[in-house]
Amino acid sequence: MFPKTKNPLSNLYCLSATLQKSRSFGASLNFISSAPFSSISRPNRNFKLQHIHSSKSIKPITSFYQFSSNRLPGISCLNLMDSPRKIGNSSEELESSSYSKDSYLSIDIPDTDSYPQKEISNKNNIHSILLSLKPQAIDPTGSKTSGELVPLLAGFNVPRNDFIFSSSLSDQTRSYSKSSRTSENDQQASMNPSENARDSIALNSETDTNLSNTATKTSEPSNYTTNATKVALIEDPNASSKAKTKLGEEKRNVFSSSEEKSMMSGHTTMGAWKKLILFAKNEYKLLGGAVCLLFVSSTVSMSVPFFFGKLIDMVTTPDFPLPYGLTTNQIFGGLASFFAIGALANFGRVYMIRKASESMIARLRTKIYSSIIREDMTFFEINRSGDLVSRLTVDTTIVSKSITNNVSDGLRSALSVVAGLSMMIYMSPKLSIIMLLVIPPIAGYAVFYGKFVKKITQRTQQALGDITKEAEERINNIRTVQAFGREDEETLSFGKASNYVYDLGKKEALISGIFFGSNGLIGNLSMLLFLGFGGKMVMANEITIGDLSSFMLYTAYVGSSLAGLSSFFSESMKGIGASMRLFYILERTPKITCDSSTEGIKLSEYKGHIQFENVCFKYPSRPDTTIFNNLNIDIMPGTHVAIAGPSGKGKSTLALLILRFYDINSGVIKIDGVDLKSLNLKQWRSNVAIVPQEPALFATTIKANLLYANPNASDHELEVALKRANAYSFVSKFPNGIDTFVGERGVSLSGGQKQRIAIARALLADPAVLILDEATSALDHQSEQSVQQALDRLTGSDEYDDDELNGDDRNSDTVLVNGEDSVSVTPLHVPSANLSTKRRASRTIITIAHRPSTLQKSDIVLVLGDNGNIVESGNYYELLANDDGYFKKLLSSKNDFQTAS
Ligand SMILES: Nc1ncnc2c1ncn2[C@@H]1O[C@H](COP(=O)(O)OP(=O)(O)OP(=O)(O)O)[C@@H](O)[C@H]1O
């Protein structure tokens, strides 16, 4: 569903136009959608568009396009000032050609060949522009929300549950427009521009070369929201992927939200280390054992150069005295055994470290998942699921490895450096001085490198999170992507995001290359120095050839261990970078928790009495939009209440508040006389069931989906629930019956089938309060009837006897929806008492309804009005009897209300 906003302060809407080259008409402009501009109308000004050359320099093309508002009231029309043919230059022409007749605008621009060459090349890169439009131009009564205006302008049917990507509305409409739609497609819109809107539409937008190559900024930012500044030319998909969009800019942020930034900006590297070490306490034993074995294996490996030196002297000096009277073979055998002990210790070390690492990854993942799943709704509004999944998988691995494998390797390197240097000093203090000259610059460089890596890792992880979330979202909604034919653009967008990660990787590769290359050079140069000086010392009999060989080997060991130390440092920084992303999740305290089964007041039984007393509510993410203003509702236990009202007035929000997904700003919501805030939320929620507009099924079997509501339900209860929900017939026809796999989000079921499974699930929860949020909204008439029948059973308005489930099942299993259910099924013999004992004598039912048929069956209809309050309430027929009433008007307004009964 499109987001529905109507900011009373906003009197400008943004109309997105897509400029497309077409073979026969040159380029055509199709106006496709709207998005709100919170801006006060301003005097007529020229609108400067800017254009991006393929060379990425920005050049204003005001002479090419210019807005004019003198003839088309309420709309900024497009003029082609320099065109020889000047089609569209006169407003009358525009009016007669497309504007006044059709519900959306399609302005033909002459063949691009008729433009001077320079402008043609400019044009080729333009993909889309945004124009401003007063809402009166498309909605003279001002009654529509932007969510309704979008499909109105778009000229194509937007399904109720159509998928909306999580970018801004203007971004969405801009990118998800069918660029070549014709006016025949649009049967819905009507535009009656009002004359007085004429002079208040044009924006004055000036070139801002600091912005990304694709966006312009208004010259008076104070008057416009960020959205308004996004008056943009979007590059042609084929244009260079290097151009940075706003999204690209966002990807440079290390933190995914301002909340995360403010929470994490105070965290220091040392603090993060401390937390990580504390977190690893379950693995202390393994890590301790590994460190002990590390000492053994390092001792063995660091003695190798010493022994090799002695062996060289032994084999090159004829009368070399063998120690302890041992033979050569015994010495070789002894050394082989010594090395075998080292190998065993190394094996143990690696095994223990890896085990500790995997154990920590698993623990960290579970902890992060547990934190995520307990977060409040605001958290999920500011953090996208793909990014969270990336934190859950990639970041946890990086963090765990950084404090296990990496610490182990780092310790080994540190031991090697210390032992190697000590041996070198022991063997020849003179030669060792050279080594001491080399170490400080390498160490300094390592620190610099590590800090760089930390920063770049944080960015890379964030960018990877962005990629993951984008990919996940698109793949999850592949039908929308393919239906709009956006595969190429999606690939391009993903490619851009992926290129950004590549760019970061390139930077890291460059610095790493320089670092390790120069390290290697320093190492080799040191070797040369040692050979030069060492050779002279051998000649002067100050040291033996064996000593020099040992020294050289120690140099190599120490050199590689120094490199190991610096990579330990950089890997640690990677871990710290990634850990910050995890600490944000671990340390965030949800504003609403449903965690504890002991916290809060527990009621022995819920009757389902719901009271809203002077409730004021604004969504935390939109604090300037009031949804409810001193709302007062009293829903008596056991009643069936229908909530009606125009789209976007807060009907679904009401359901969310009852479930306490959000806390209200003021007033009180009482459940059975107790403030909802002081109730035990876990218990309360387990007494409420909701059948949402868009039923969410899990990618598992029908049975598992049903058991989600009541894990203890017997097979028999599942069947009864399916029958009540009018779902049994189609389920039993599936080859695997109730064990049929429904696909991701129930994709392999029809909308009506999903709804009915969701209803069966709600039924199984046996709730005190049942909320049906436009449960039939997405269905065709036949499906709706079937679901409606199921709902009627739930609400009790359809006389339904459990005995009917026994044999002569009148739940029309043979006459269900879409002709698909015409096969009769074997009747079930269900002992009615079984379920009847479980069913509540009365339950409160709240139906959010558009259809009169549903409204008629309710005890009372509450009508939500424009002021965030109930404007009318009463029995359906009473309300209908009032000709001047809001409800009556609402019902007769086809655009706002579904009148088909
Ligand atoms: N999570 C959210 N954050 C901010 N605003 C929201 C959020 N969810 C909904 N809104 C806004 O709150 C208002 C009420 O939305 P709600 O879904 O309750 O309307 P509704 O009456 O149920 O509409 P419809 O009949 O179209 O389903 C709308 O303007 C909507 O844009």
Q: Span 838-861, mean pLDDT?
A: 76
In this structure, is residue 91 part of a structural domain? no
So what's the pLDDT on residue 341? 93
Report the domain count for the chain.
Answer: 4
Residue 649 Cα: closest atom of ligand 1: 21
Most confident of 226-230, 443-447, 884-888: 884-888
Q: Span 716-738, mean pLDDT?
A: 86
Same domain, 296 and 405: yes
* Cβ neighbourhood burial of 536 (10 Å; 0-12, 13-18, 19+): exposed
Nearest CA to ligand 1 atom 13: 648
For CA atoms 275, 281, 283, 286, the dihedral sign is positive
Same domain, 656 and 681: yes
So what's the pLDDT on residue 52? 27
pLDDT confidence tier of residue 618, bands split at 50, 70 and 90: very high
Instruction: Show which of 746, 766, 786 is a domain's final residue.
Output: 766
Most confident of 179-188, 271-280, 466-475: 271-280
- Across the strands, what pairs with 206? 217
Residue 622 Cα: closest atom of ligand 1: 4
CA 464 to centroid of ligand 1, rounded, Å? 31
So what's the pLDDT on residue 151? 34
703 Cβ below 6 A of ligand 1: no
Q: Span 765-790, mean pLDDT?
A: 71
DSSP H stretches of helix in 230-327: 246-250, 258-264, 269-279, 284-316
CA 865 to centroid of ligand 1, rounded, Å? 14
Assess contact for 573 and 403: CB atoms under 8 A.
no
652 Cβ below 6 A of ligand 1: yes
Nearest CA to ligand 1 atom 31: 4
Cα–Cα dist 277/281, whole Å: 7
pLDDT confidence tier of residue 81, bands split at 50, 70 and 90: very low
* Cβ neighbourhood burial of 841 (10 Å; 0-12, 13-18, 19+): exposed
Same domain, 418 and 493: no
Cα–Cα dist 294/851, whole Å: 73
So what's the pLDDT on residue 220? 32
pLDDT confidence tier of residue 819, bands split at 50, 70 and 90: very low
So what's the pLDDT on residue 98? 31
650 Cβ below 6 A of ligand 1: yes
Quick: pLDDT tens for 861-874. Answer: 998 887 778 888 88
Whether the pLDDT of residue 646 is over 60: the answer is yes
So what's the pLDDT on residue 878? 84
Assess contact for 62 and 185: CB atoms under 8 A.
no
5 Cβ below 6 A of ligand 1: yes
Whether the pLDDT of residue 130 is over 50: the answer is no
Q: Span 477-501, mean pLDDT?
A: 82
Whether the pLDDT of residue 308 is over 90: the answer is no
Residue 864's CATH number: 3.40.50.300
In this structure, is residue 787 part of a structural domain? no
**DSSP state letters, 417-471:** HHHHHHHHHHH-HHHHHHHHHHHHHHHHHHHHHHHHHHHHHHHHHHHHHHHHHHH
Same domain, 499 and 568: no
Q: Which two tokens stand for residue 836?
A: 């009847």
Question: For residue 323, how many C-alpha atoms fall within 13 Å in the half-sphere facing its CB?
Answer: 8
Residue 650 Cα: closest atom of ligand 1: 18
The residue count for the chain: 901
Quick: pLDDT tens for 413-427. Answer: 888 888 888 888 888
So what's the pLDDT on residue 289? 92
So what's the pLDDT on residue 456? 81
In this structure, is residue 452 part of a structural domain? yes
Helix (H) or strand (E) holding 385: helix 385-390
Region of poorest pLDDT, from 157-166, 466-475, 817-826? 817-826
Same domain, 291 and 383: yes
Q: Span 61-89, mean pLDDT?
A: 31
Which of the 8 DSSP states describes residue 485?
T
- Quote the percentage of the chain above a pLDDT of 90: 7
Most confident of 521-535, 605-619, 804-818: 605-619
Of the candidates 457, 463, 461, the residue with the CA atom closest to the CA atom of residue 497:
463
Region of poorest pLDDT, from 33-42, 85-94, 373-382, 410-419? 33-42
Q: Cβ of 715: how many Cβ atoms within 10 Å?
A: 9
Assess contact for 876 and 882: CB atoms under 8 A.
no
pLDDT confidence tier of residue 79, bands split at 50, 70 and 90: very low
Residue 774 Cα: closest atom of ligand 1: 27
Q: 3-state secondary structure string, 618-644?
A: ECCCCCCCEEEEEEEEEECCCCEEEEE
Same domain, 362 and 439: no
Assess contact for 194 and 133: CB atoms under 8 A.
no
pLDDT confidence tier of residue 402, bands split at 50, 70 and 90: confident
So what's the pLDDT on residue 419? 87
Of the candidates 802, 713, 725, the residue with the CA atom closest to the CA atom of residue 759:
725
Paired sense of beta strands 234-235 and 126-133, if any: antiparallel
In this structure, the dihedral spanned by the alpha carbons of residues 767, 773, 778 and 780, taken in order and rounded to 10 degrees, is: 70
378 Cβ below 6 A of ligand 1: no
Q: Cβ of 616: how many Cβ atoms within 10 Å?
A: 15
Amino acid at 471: A
Same domain, 755 and 675: no
* Cβ neighbourhood burial of 63 (10 Å; 0-12, 13-18, 19+): exposed
So what's the pLDDT on residue 121? 30
CA 154 to centroid of ligand 1, rounded, Å? 21
Return the residue matching tokens 């998928």.
163
Whether the pLDDT of residue 661 is over 60: the answer is yes
So what's the pLDDT on residue 144? 44
Residue 173 or 213, more confident: 173
Quick: pLDDT tens for 138-171. Answer: 444 444 444 443 333 333 222 333 333 444 344 4
Which conformational region is residue 78 in: left (phi greater than 0), alpha (psi within -120 to 50 degrees), or beta? beta
Whether the pLDDT of residue 807 is over 50: the answer is no
Residue 664 or 167, more confident: 664
In this structure, is residue 723 part of a structural domain? yes
pLDDT confidence tier of residue 119, bands split at 50, 70 and 90: very low
661 Cβ below 6 A of ligand 1: no
Q: Span 596-613, mean pLDDT?
A: 84
CA 3 to centroid of ligand 1, rounded, Å? 7
CA 385 to centroid of ligand 1, rounded, Å? 20
For CA atoms 833, 837, 838, 844, the dihedral sign is positive
Same domain, 394 and 458: no
- In Å, how far from its chain's centre is CA 863? 34
pLDDT confidence tier of residue 665, bands split at 50, 70 and 90: very high
pLDDT confidence tier of residue 447, bands split at 50, 70 and 90: confident
Residue 377 Cα: closest atom of ligand 1: 1
So what's the pLDDT on residue 697? 86
Most confident of 372-381, 450-459, 519-528, 849-858: 372-381
381 Cβ below 6 A of ligand 1: yes
648 Cβ below 6 A of ligand 1: yes
So what's the pLDDT on residue 213? 31
Cα–Cα dist 433/761, whole Å: 78
Containing structural domain, residue 722? 693-766
In this structure, is residue 740 part of a structural domain? yes
In this structure, is residue 120 part of a structural domain? no
Mean pLDDT score across all residues of the chain: 66
Whether the pLDDT of residue 247 is over 50: the answer is no
| Residue 874 three-state SS | strand
So what's the pLDDT on residue 788? 65
CA 862 to centroid of ligand 1, rounded, Å? 17
Looking at the whole model, is its pTM more than 0.90?
no
Q: Cβ of 311: how many Cβ atoms within 10 Å?
A: 18
Amino acid at 237: P
3 Cβ below 6 A of ligand 1: yes
Whether the pLDDT of residue 347 is over 50: the answer is yes
Q: Span 14-19, mean pLDDT?
A: 32
Residue 850 Cα: closest atom of ligand 1: 25
Q: 3-state secondary structure string, 49-92?
A: CEEECCCCCEEECCCCEEEECCCCCCECEEEECCCCCCCCCCHH
Cα–Cα dist 730/128, whole Å: 46
CA 150 to centroid of ligand 1, rounded, Å? 15
Whether the pLDDT of residue 778 is over 70: the answer is no
Q: Span 36-64, mean pLDDT?
A: 29
- Greatest Cα pair distance in the chain: 123
Q: Which two tokens stand for residue 267?
A: 């965290």
CA 776 to centroid of ligand 1, rounded, Å? 18
Same domain, 634 and 575: no
Quick: pLDDT tens for 258-283. Answer: 777 777 777 777 888 888 888 888 88
CA 1 to centroid of ligand 1, rounded, Å? 10
Whether the pLDDT of residue 613 is over 90: the answer is yes
In this structure, is residue 570 part of a structural domain? yes
Same domain, 293 and 382: yes
Of the candidates 727, 732, 815, the residue with the CA atom closest to the CA atom of residue 775:
727
CA 409 to centroid of ligand 1, rounded, Å? 54
Instruction: Show which of 711, 734, 766 is a domain's final residue.
Output: 766
In this structure, the dihedral spanned by the alpha carbons of residues 22, 25, 27 and 32, taken in order and rounded to 10 degrees, is: -80
CA 372 to centroid of ligand 1, rounded, Å? 24
So what's the pLDDT on residue 658? 93
Which of the 8 DSSP states describes residue 178?
-
Instruction: Show which of 510, 542, 574 is a domain's final residue.
Output: 542
So what's the pLDDT on residue 252? 41
Quick: pLDDT tens for 332-341. Answer: 898 899 999 9
Quick: pLDDT tens for 184-222. Answer: 333 333 333 333 332 222 222 322 323 233 233 333 333
Same domain, 585 and 486: no
Helix pair angle (396-403, 269-279), 10° resolution: 90
Same domain, 626 and 728: no
- Which residue of 161, 379, 649 sits with most ligand 1 atoms within 8 Å of its CB, as the best mutation to test the pocket? 649
Whether the pLDDT of residue 803 is over 50: the answer is no
Whether the pLDDT of residue 539 is over 80: the answer is yes
Residue 418's CATH number: 1.20.1560.10
Nearest CA to ligand 1 atom 16: 650
CA 653 to centroid of ligand 1, rounded, Å? 6
445 Cβ below 6 A of ligand 1: no
Residue 3 Cα: closest atom of ligand 1: 31
CA 190 to centroid of ligand 1, rounded, Å? 24
So what's the pLDDT on residue 95? 34
Which of the 8 DSSP states describes residue 588?
P
Cα–Cα dist 47/214, whole Å: 16
In this structure, is residue 108 part of a structural domain? no
Whether the pLDDT of residue 667 is over 90: the answer is yes
533 φ/ψ angles, rounded to the nearest 5 degrees: -65, -45
Q: Which two tokens stand for residue 888?
A: 């009556």
Cα–Cα dist 718/757, whole Å: 10
